[in-house]
């Protein structure tokens, strides 16, 4: 639930397609669009643990935590969600997440996820939120997820995207969105009380507002 109450999300006029994006070392990231909490239970539970740990770290997301599993599902799987699976480039692309994970561990195969849902009410709705597990960082997966976002979001009817809290300490995120053509359209001084000080102490960190038009 946002400060504006329940916000209806747009739906694609046709089903979103499974896509693949190249990664280093002859790997690809295969992206699976899902609606609601239709991902396998073990995938949701694994991503929940990753997200809960991220909140405990206190450096990237504004929520303080802890968050319940039900709260995570509502937050991250309440609209359209994209789940990325890492596989070899010569491996057959499966038609479901469950089939894509057969014989693989979640830690090795689950590259990341993100949601696409409104940030504001219908006349100004555009947003997304991303998770890349620590075991997958440094493999260009964030960039691949970002590229897929720029394809899926317009297909859902969004005319642009605003990320209104990209903290200055999140250099990887800022670099990714800049590379994908997002503009820095504003700065919110002291927007986040993050655990970025000495020995994990809290301090106030500025946040960048990033924007990209899809039209």
Q: What is the pLDDT of residues 9-60, one digit of tens each?
A: 666 667 899 999 999 999 999 999 998 888 999 999 999 999 999 999 999 9
Is it the case that residue 4 has pLDDT exceeding 70? no
Count of residues for the chain? 215
- Domain borders along the chain are 19-158
**Closest CA relative to residue 52, chosen from 66, 31, 37, 63:** 66
Report the distance separating Cα 96 and Cα 99, nearest Å: 5
**pLDDT at 204 > cutoff 60:** yes
Note whether 144 and 179 are within 8 A (CB).
no
Q: Give the mean pLDDT of 72-87.
A: 93
pTM to 2 decimal places: 0.91
Q: Please, what sign has the CA dihedral across residues 195, 201, 202, 203?
A: negative
Quote the pLDDT of residue 194.
Answer: 96
pLDDT for 38 equals 87
73: pLDDT confidence band, cut at 50, 70 and 90? very high
- Is residue 89 over pLDDT 80? yes
- H or E segment and range at residue 161: strand 160-167
Average pLDDT score, the chain: 91
The tens digit of pLDDT for each residue in 144-185 reads 999 999 999 999 988 889 998 999 999 999 999 999 999 999
d(CA 3, CA 211): 21
Q: Which two tokens stand for residue 56?
A: 């405990």
Question: What percent of the chain is predicted at pLDDT more than 90?
Answer: 77
pLDDT at 5 over 90: no
Mean pLDDT, rounded, for 83-111: 96
Number of CB atoms found within 10 A of residue 204's CB: 12
- Distance (Å, whole) CA 73 – CA 194: 24
CATH number, domain 19-158: 3.40.630.30
């Amino acid at each position: 639930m946002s400060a504006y109450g329940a916000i209806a999300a747009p739906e694609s006029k046709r089903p979103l397609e499974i896509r693949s994006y190249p990664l280093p070392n002859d790997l690809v990231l295969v992206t699976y669009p899902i609606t609601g909490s239709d991902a396998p239970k073990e995938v949701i539970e694994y991503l929940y643990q990753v997200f809960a740990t991220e909140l405990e770290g206190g450096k990237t997301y504004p929520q303080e935590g802890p968050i319940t599993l039900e709260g995570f599902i509502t937050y991250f799987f309440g609209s359209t969600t994209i789940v990325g699976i890492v596989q070899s480039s010569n491996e057959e692309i499966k038609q479901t997440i469950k089939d894509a994970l057969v014989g693989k561990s979640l830690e090795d195969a689950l590259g990341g996820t993100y949601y696409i849902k409104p940030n504001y009410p219908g006349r100004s709705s555009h947003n997304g939120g991303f998770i890349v597990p620590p075991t997958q960082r440094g493999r260009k997966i964030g960039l691949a997820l970002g590229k897929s976002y720029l394809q899926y979001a317009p297909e859902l009817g969004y005319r642009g995207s605003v990320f209104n809290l990209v903290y200055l300490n999140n250099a990887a995120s800022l670099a990714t969105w800049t590379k994908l053509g997002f503009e820095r359209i504003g700065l919110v001084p002291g927007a986040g009380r993050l655990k970025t000080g000495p020995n994990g102490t809290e301090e106030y960190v500025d946040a960048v507002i990033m924007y990209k038009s899809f039209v």
